[in-house]
Amino acid sequence: MQDTGEWQALGAHREALDGVHLRDLFEGDRHRGERLVAETDGLLLDFSKNLLTDETVELLAALADRAGLGHRIEAMFGGEPVNTTENRPAWHVALRQPNPPPEVRAEFDHMAEFAAEVRNGHWHAVVNIGIGGSDLGPAVATAALGAYADTELDVRFLSNIDGAHFREVTQGLDPARTLFIVVSKTFTTTETLTNATTARAWVADAVGEDAASSHFAAVTASPNKAQDFGIDAESVFAMWDWVGGRYSLASAVGLSLMLAVGSDAFSEMLAGMHQIDEHFRTAPWVENLPALLGLIGIWNRNFWGWPTYAVLPYSQELALFPAYIQQLDMESSGKSVQADGTPVSTPTGPVVWGQPGTNGQHAFHQLLHQGTDIVPVDFIGFCRPNHSHIGHHDLLMANLFAQAEALAFGAPDAGEPHRSFPGNRPSTVLLGDQLTPHSLGQLVALYEHKVFTQATVWGINPFDQWGVELGKTLASGIAAELTGTAAPNPTRDSSTQSLINRFLAHR
């Protein structure tokens, strides 16, 4: 892309902005903050505090056209095999269509029926066992929609292979009244199968081997493997190879969320996702929230050269959202070759990190305001809370607005340099009316399509994750040595071998 006129025009335009301060941009244009915004269905994106101008937005829109974003969107929505390295579609948008494909509708009905039974049954706890995309989506959504949970069910999430996580998650639970949902697209993931095996033994200890299988359901694209594990066929929910793990919340991977909030609220979340899907597909780039977020991401990453960005929800209910976006973005965008296998010629995915505000203000905002690196921030907040403590909410949101203001405009203090705030630090604000199933769905789809927009410009495949494979292969070889079923590898490097030896000697 950097050979194109569109890219080069952006490069020259960026250089022309050298020395320009956000203070100048706002002082020279009293309506900037009202104009550099986009809105759809109750969700406002204020991108005016980024280091850009109206011309930047036009040039970025031209870049999107040059990259063929419109065609790529139609290919993804049309179910074409856009995941080229795995030769399959990435068709998560089909999961949230009002009239989805029949197999999707059937699985939704299966989920809704199961959810109604479990929610009215004798269970007191549900534990979702999964990791990565089989954990983060339902975990973030269940926490986000805590105010919409309308049962006594205690829904928990077990992911880490660390036995401490099993101990923590099962603490205080009655195995006789605990249901486990094993979520694994492949049903081969070591963490998930290890935790599921331990969970089954824990249940069997209490209720006996025969009754234990009724405590398990599964969500997988490999139903035979789930049945081999001992899970009844009617408790196995399908997902399809055309749904990527980190794009799977709208599939049966969201079953634990549905158990917590019910099928109606789940449907509202799907409607929020679909609203953004249609917006992404139809709105002009300069009014298109996901495209704008992605194009600003390109601007910040490739033209300003900033290597990280922070996602800071001013919402305790969205405390896990940064971790969710971290997987979505970094597993999708952390690529060094393009879809055709040739090396990329520009930096790709930034490091994504974050925590909820206001906690982060007392931890890392020092660096955001006065550090030597610039970290663009996405602030996320809502006008109305899901609780009655209005005073808290006013203070929470006052802090969000103040942080974005302080980052942008700073406060010079020539006398005491350590008290000086340089400002000129970019941020974007996403302001929703209220965190609801609908708006949560909007946020999830918004970031999915942001990532897609960036990947389209970079020419990478955002739907594979081959970079996680080597570590898995090496770990299984080392695990065989640790358990004494394989001899040490004589060709292993001296550092890794010494560490293994020390572990074996000291455990």
C-beta closer to ligand F6P: residue 245 or 410: 245
Binding segment (CB under 6 A) for ligand F6P, from list 15-23, 34-42, 179-187, 298-306: 179-187
Main-chain phi, psi angles of 279, to 5 degrees: -60, -45
Q: How far is the CB of 270 from ligand F6P (least distance, A)?
A: 20
What's the CA gap between 503 and 293, in Å, rounded? 46
410 near ligand F6P, rule: CB under 6 A: no
Q: How far is the CB of 134 from ligand F6P (least distance, A)?
A: 4
| Residue ranges in 420-479 that form contacts with ligand F6P under rule CB under 6 A | 465, 468
335 near ligand F6P, rule: CB under 6 A: no
Which DSSP string corresponds to 388-443? S-HHHHHHHHHHHHHHHHHHHH-B--SS-GGG-B-----EEEEEEEE--HHHHHHH
Binding segment (CB under 6 A) for ligand F6P, from list 2-10, 185-193, 380-388, 480-488: 185-193
Report residue 287 as tokens: 């009014």
SS3 309: strand
Among residues 56, 184, 436, 461, which is the contact residue for ligand F6P, using CB under 6 A? Answer: 184
Beta partners for 430? Answer: 45, 380
Q: How many Cα atoms sit within 13 Å of 390 on the Cβ side?
A: 0
Among residues 84, 85, 151, 186, which is the contact residue for ligand F6P, using CB under 6 A? Answer: 186
**Annotated catalytic residue within 331, 335, 438, 449:** 331
Q: How far is the CB of 331 from ligand F6P (least distance, A)?
A: 6
What's the CA gap between 313 and 444, in Å, rounded? 13
Peptide bond just before 436 cis, omega within 30 deg: no
C-beta closer to ligand F6P: residue 84 or 186: 186
**Annotated catalytic residue within 362, 416, 418, 469:** 362
C-beta closer to ligand F6P: residue 133 or 360: 133
Q: Is 472 a catalytic site residue?
A: yes
Contact 174, 124 (CB under 8 A): yes
507: CB partners within 8 A, 6+ apart: none
Angle between helices 54-66 and 437-458 (to 10 degrees): 70
Q: Which DSSP category does 350 fall into?
A: P
Beta partners for 127? Answer: 156, 180
Q: How far is the CB of 468 from ligand F6P (least distance, A)?
A: 4
128 near ligand F6P, rule: CB under 6 A: no
**Residue listed under structure tokens 């066992």:** 129
192 near ligand F6P, rule: CB under 6 A: yes
Q: Which DSSP category does 67 fall into?
A: T
CA dihedral of residues 241, 242, 247, 253 (deg, nearest 10): -50
C-beta closer to ligand F6P: residue 327 or 358: 327
What's the CA gap between 325 and 330, in Å, rounded? 8
88 near ligand F6P, rule: CB under 6 A: no
Binding segment (CB under 6 A) for ligand F6P, from list 46-54, 126-134, 426-434, 451-459: 126-134
Binding segment (CB under 6 A) for ligand F6P, from list 98-106, 114-122, 142-150, 186-194: 186-194
Q: Is 362 a catalytic site residue?
A: yes
349 near ligand F6P, rule: CB under 6 A: no
245 near ligand F6P, rule: CB under 6 A: yes
Residues designated catalytic: 331, 362, 472
The binding site for ligand F6P (CB under 6 A) comprises 131-134, 184-186, 189, 192, 245-246, 331, 465, 468
